[in-house]
Structure 1
Amino acid sequence: MTNSGEASAQFAGETPFDVGERRAWAGRAAAYAAGFGRLCAYTVPRLLDAAGVTEGSRVLDAGTGTGAAAAAACARGARVTAVDAEPDMVRAAAAAAPEAAVRLAALPQLPFADESFDAVVGNFVLNHVGRPRAALAELRRVTRPGGRIALTIWAAPPASGQALLGRAVQAAGVPRPPDIPALAPEDDFPRTEPGLAELLRTAGRLVGVVCSAVSWDHRTTPEEWWHGPASGVATIGRVVTSQGPAVTERIRRHFRDLAVEFAAPDGQLVLPHTALLASGRVAG
């Protein structure tokens, strides 16, 4: 299963949200890397610092995507294992981090023994799992006592740059298709500093939890920023492409008009984004 025309991988215990995520990402590693992947890589150095990743550390990168965190951890001299639920991402990550052991696997069931890793990182992975609490418990299971877990998620409400594409969809009057399931309310949690910190303390049973906002301006071009959703990348891409080329073009026109407020003199877009970075230690 290597391209967008192939079925997505199946994993035991998937929720409807998980199935929708598989569809949203299937075969789209290259389109992701060209736009959203560059955005998400911004938090990687701080994520690795928060997890205490140093030379010789046994590190798990959960939800590695195209391998930015795995490659950065390898560059620090860590012994890296990386997993992703999408085969196209696994291949891309293996190419980006050839020193890492990259394999297909999905939270909340990882194919590793208890206490296998000194540090576990997940760069935005909790945004893409149907059972965040179960995922956190699984990450704790595979982390040794005294080891650290560090995670990022997107903050809610979103920063203005992050909201741009959604505003274009709304301005075009395009609803979220009913076949794109939302996270079940009982599985959700507040996407705030206190909300993410509490998740690590309760579901992860971590100690010494800290959580802070990370804000930055992402510089891109209108063409690059539009390419991802127009290629069907992520949930926003499924919405953008859900009703055919004419509707996609209508959304693009609204995107073009709204993007003007973020335009720099050189024609690039300067898009404010805010993520949350939380970390904690496994007691013992």
Structure 2
Amino acid sequence: MTDPSQAFDTAERTMWAGRAHAYAASFARLCAHPVERLLDAAEVGTGTYVLDVGTGTGTAALAASARGARVCAVDADAGMVAAARAAGVEAEVALLPELPYPDGEFEAVVANFVVNHVGRPRAALAELRRVLKPGGRVALTSWGARRGAGQELFGRAFAAAGAVVPDDLRRLDPAEDFVRTADGFAELLREAGFTDARAAELEWDHRTTVGEWWGGPAAGVATAGLIVTSQDEGTVVRIRREYERLAGEFAVEGHELALPHIAVLACGRA
């Protein structure tokens, strides 16, 4: 029988394969919003030796470099690594919970929207602690239990269009899950051996356009993309129609949308 955590990780790798460009053109700007606060929480500054885990197209790594930090980065997807390298990031392919670095290598580790994409979150955090020097800082972000109205937009469009969620959509093994609140994320860090662990919610309105925001799911990016691309053509047309109708609730000046989002930022010390 396939290990459920391994199956989750495999599904995640499949979901992101070949979608670096589509991610960069859609959801990447959303995920970039907490980066400066993430780096602040990890105490990243001039000369800090930092590892960016799950770098994606390199947003956090580039921001750390702009602060004068020495940066290494890893991602599980080769396409993301290629995109990060093209942007000037020293990146390589590596999958949590096994990183290709010795114990105590880094002064800071950041992971921006990564823990929600791994099948064994506790093992992943233990690995982040392993590669940190004693006293080093970790900071991570993730989507939590409380969601902003903008995060519900595609789900509402799927329901209104009669979309069917695929039966093989992988969920995290309940035995590996954790309470997805600020308190729950702080406790997850404490379980992994971090001290001074704390977490807080972040709230912001993501500015985008109807076309840009549709582009991610239409290209198969993230869970919303898996749902969209698994539908028949007629259902996709209905989803797009319902999405555009519902998106009007978030219209602001010009052609922009302001989509409320909520995430959690957690940090601790090795």
Q: What TM-score does the superposition give when structure 2 sets the normalisation length?
A: 0.96
Measure the CA separation in 1 of the matches of 2:196 and 2:81.
32
Code of the residue aligned with 1:178 in structure 2: it is: D
Q: 1:157 to 1:173 in 2, by over 3 A?
A: farther
Matches within 5 A, 1:66-105: 66-96=57-87, 98=88, 100-105=89-94
Is the partner of 1:163 in helix, strand or coil? helix
1:264 alignment counterpart? 252
Shift of 1:56: 1.0
Measure the CA separation in 2 of the matches of 1:263 and 1:38.
18
Shift of 1:250: 1.4
Corresponding pairs, count: 268
Measure the CA separation in 1 of the matches of 2:134 and 2:233.
52
1:216 alignment counterpart? 204
Do structure 1's residue 146 and structure 2's residue 118 form an aligned pair? no
1:92-136 CA-partner distances (Å, limit 9, x unpaired): 11122x1x4200001011111111100000000011111111100
State the percentage of identical aligned residues. Answer: 58
Do structure 1's residue 50 and structure 2's residue 46 form an aligned pair? no
* Alignment root-mean-square deviation, CA: 1.4
Off by >3 Å, runs of 4+ in structure 1: none
Measure the CA separation in 2 of the matches of 1:155 and 1:231.
24
Task: Answer whether contact 2:8 2:119 (CA < 8 A) is retained.
Answer: yes
Q: In structure 2, list runs of 5 or more residues that go unmatched.
A: none
2:267 alignment counterpart? 279
Do structure 1's residue 63 and structure 2's residue 29 form an aligned pair? no
1:230 alignment counterpart? 218
Task: Answer whether contact 2:71 2:90 (CA < 8 A) is retained.
Answer: yes
Is the partner of 2:150 in helix, strand or coil? coil
Q: What TM-score does the superposition give when structure 1 sets the normalisation length?
A: 0.91
Task: Answer whether contact 2:55 2:74 (CA < 8 A) is retained.
Answer: yes
Matches within 5 A, 1:245-260: 245-260=233-248
2:184 alignment counterpart? 195
Task: Answer whether contact 1:21 1:235 (CA < 8 A) is retained.
Answer: no
Do structure 1's residue 162 and structure 2's residue 151 form an aligned pair? yes
